[in-house]
Amino acid sequence: MAQPQKVVVVGNGMVGYKFCEKLLNKAGGGSFSITVIGEEPRPAYDRVHLSAYFSGTSVDELTMAPASWYADNGIQLLTGECVLHIHPEEHCVITHTGRRVDYDKLILATGSSAFVPPVPGVEKEGVFVYRTIEDLDAIMSYAQKATRAAVIGGGLLGLEAAKATLDLGLETHVIEFAPRLMPRQLDAAGAGMLKRKMEALGIHIHLHKNTAHFEGESCVKGLAFVDGSLLEVDMVVVSAGIRPRDELAKLVGLGVGPRGGIMVNDELQTTNPDIYAIGECALHQGMIYGLAAPGYEMAEVVAHNLASAFSENGITKSFRAFDMSTKLKLIGVDVASFGDPFCEHTPHDTIVVEDKLKGIYKRLNVTTDGRHLLGGILVGEADNYNMLLQMVKNQLILPPNPEELVMPVRQGESTGTGMGVASLPDDASICSCENITKGRICEAIASQNLGDMAAIKKCTKAGTGCGGCVPMLSDLLTETLKKQGKTVKKVLCEHFDYSRQEMYHLIKMSGTRTFDEVLEKHGKGCGCETCKPAVASMLASIYNDVIAKQAVIQDTNDRYMANIQRGGTYSVVPRVPGGEITPDQLITLGIVAKKYDLYCKITGGQRVDLFGARVEQLPFIWEELIEVGFESGHAYGKALRTVKSCVGNTWCRFGVQDAVGYAVRIENRYKGIRAPHKLKSAVSGCTRECAEAQSKDFGIIATEKGWNLYLCGNGGIKPQHAVLFASDLDDDTCIKYIDRFLMFYIKTAEPLQRTATWFNKLEGGLDYLREVIINDSLGICSELEQEMEYLIETYHDEWRVAVETPEIRARFTHFVNSEEADPSLAFVEMRGQKRPADW
């Protein structure tokens, strides 16, 4: 019996592990004796999802396979050991401990290291790279004494690092040498959209910046730029790219590219045929691949070729130029590029969809005859990424209206394109990481009776890499089972074989009170980002336990029991049930706000009601309120009640306009104006509509270009949405239209007729109203504006007049011939305050 061939793998990252897995699957036991040597103190872990470590994901959860897996498969795993020398003539390597390991075939999977620019002062304390778990531990430790962090690098890794520092509560700045973020993946428009979304989250972006040196003595205190500017920070994370780990190759005289990287042929052999290089250390046809998928394909090629050497009719595989399409979520923002995103050297036509209000940018590059998709860019929304990528790879014919592929689809509508996973050819590569085709997946589902995602992953390995193909796998499962006449059971996720309703009842019946207990009793595996928050929600609904007990499976807001806001700070919002609040509570709010220098704002209807005042007390109460600047709120009148607002872009990470400032201007303009019925208004700082403007008599919603004006909404017994009257108005034009609208309503409505009812009976409806207000079809707009200006100019505070006018003030008595109070008034204590006694 032939001796097993000795294979030594230098490097135990994702690609090194994947090579071992693939070689075992292809060759079985006995053909090879495998030794893996890794510098890090632990087995391979998932670097793609490394940032999850900051949000509570453990090292064990990131680990691709435990040490026991290597032992169970006969692999010798040496961790914490560094190879210092290769001796090709003796077919052995020497580690830093002096250990000699012999090989027949040597696989270099040394990966890459973080590129650190040779900037003076980079060695100072407080400067880190973002590469390993140890790096992340050091960053978290140092962040406890830091306040402002700079991340050098605005690419994929840089923005991941920025998310980490933001999550650590630091003021975060991103420094990018190029004129745009992610210059290798995004064009100027897409990068601009991403920049706006990053800034809305509180991340400061500095483009076209070249660092001259690091400020500070022993510790970093700032960054000095070539243009003379200075940024004060007390922590720096360098994430400016990667550098292939090719030092061993250089020592032994293997071919290395002029800019680094171990030169390999199509079979991934170096200039020494018994030494291979795979992953980020390999230079293939002048290209270094920094993604997991091409690294996995390299592992596949070498494993296949080594295993094939033992078969009689082995067919050699070759590695070809690999598609660098990628989709990821950066700080909650979908970003993707596929095919040829720029088409700089290819004749093409471009389809662009841009919605600045929603933060969405989509670009499709199509052939000049409109038949094929060449590539594209997606920012803010990337739901169609997988299908678009398959259209590029398989050269599918585009539908008659290709713009429909990226246009938003309303609920219940169909795109009409007829494109879906079922339309793909069998040789379409669904899982790029493992290069698994549609045909192979469908065949496995049918022949192996696979009924869920977990079974598909286990059987085919599809979906076990980055996870981007999982939606398409789900669609394939559904389609294949339908063809077999089977129904698909909708389950929570691969870890729980139950629907949400079933899970709810199982938890309640079993009495399980933690995620771990639920997983052990009803699930399998470790859980995921889908099932963890879902189970947490069910636990809270059933038991109403302190939510902090489930912190490990909640998002940031639930974890800290506060909403994260622009700049990384949190909002503190005490509940005030029914709007009632004690004087002591009011005072305490003020004390706390002053003590911690907090921004204060009344929410909801933006009022504080004080009940129980006797009629003769009213002038005295208002005298004190007026003294500190209060005016009548007209709660008693058929007039403007409130102009509700959210905090807008002053604080909110989603806001695009100053909602508070504009609401104040609107309310001060129309206060005191009497109308056929009460008037309510609101100003929302973005389309998330926190001020509920579309339920008001006139509501205003911010856009990137200005304001959208909605008219004739109504709450109450018969709620009615306001209608969009005009879009993207500037401040003054919006007010001009409101002036005209209010005066037209005041002039034409019936008594006690709200604007919604008035609008419903308006002959001609919205088109007529626009003709009157915008196009002045009746020739009365000038008159309406003059009448409104008069009301504004003659405004007076009714309560100030009452307090300062003796004859009016004298009216405030209960008895016309006595100043005594009403003796029949009676109150009872209720929740620490008083209320009228029952009749």
> How far apart, in whole angstroms, are the C-alpha atoms of residue 444 and residue 442?
5
> How far apart, in whole angstroms, are the C-alpha atoms of residue 421 and residue 210?
45
Q: How large is the angle between the packed helices 765-773 and 731-748, nearest 10 degrees?
A: 110
> How far apart, in whole angstroms, are the C-alpha atoms of residue 507 and residue 539?
8
Q: 417, 408, 403: which is closest to 352 by C-alpha?
A: 403
Question: What is the three-class DSSP state of 829?
Answer: strand
> Has 442 been labeled as part of a binding site?
no
Cβ neighbours, 10 Å, residue 480: 21
> How far apart, in whole angstroms, are the C-alpha atoms of residue 405 and residue 385?
10
State which amino acid sits at residue 567. Answer: G
> Has 92 been labeled as part of a binding site?
no
Whether the Cβ atoms of residue 457 and residue 444 lie closer than 8 Å to each other: no
Half-sphere exposure in the Cβ direction for 676 (13 Å, CA) = 18
Question: Within its chain, how far is the Cα of 718 from the centroid?
Answer: 37
> How far apart, in whole angstroms, are the C-alpha atoms of residue 828 and residue 837?
5
> How far apart, in whole angstroms, are the C-alpha atoms of residue 682 and residue 332?
28
> How far apart, in whole angstroms, are the C-alpha atoms of residue 557 and residue 158?
24
> Has 686 been labeled as part of a binding site?
yes
Q: 605, 614, 595, 702: which is closest to 650 by C-alpha?
A: 702
Q: CA 233 → CA 91, 127, 210, 223, distances in Å?
A: 50, 11, 16, 7
Residues 6+ apart with CB under 8 A from 245: 11, 110, 111, 112, 113, 280, 281
820, with CB counted inside 10 A (0-12, 13-18, 19+), is: exposed
Token code pair at residue 511: 């009495």
User: Which residues on neighbouring strands pair with residue 175, listed in sequence order?
Assistant: 152, 206
Token code pair at residue 731: 């401040």
> Which residue has 């981007």 as its token pair?
468
User: Which residues on neighbouring strands pair with residue 600, listed in sequence order?
Assistant: none
The 679-684 sheet, strands edge to edge: 640-645, 679-684, 698-702, 707-711, 723-729
Residues 6+ apart with CB under 8 A from 345: none
Token code pair at residue 424: 């793909």
| Phi-psi region at 372: left, alpha or beta (left = phi > 0; alpha = psi -120 to 50) | beta
Whether the Cβ atoms of residue 241 and residue 233 lie closer than 8 Å to each other: no
> How far apart, in whole angstroms, are the C-alpha atoms of residue 436 and residue 817?
95
> Has 781 been labeled as part of a binding site?
no
Token code pair at residue 131: 């590469």
Task: Could you list the residues known to form a binding site for siroheme, using ranges.
Answer: 690
Task: Could you list the residues known to form a binding site for [4Fe-4S] cluster, using ranges.
Answer: 646, 652, 686, 690
Task: Could you list the residues known to form a binding site, using ranges.
Answer: 646, 652, 686, 690
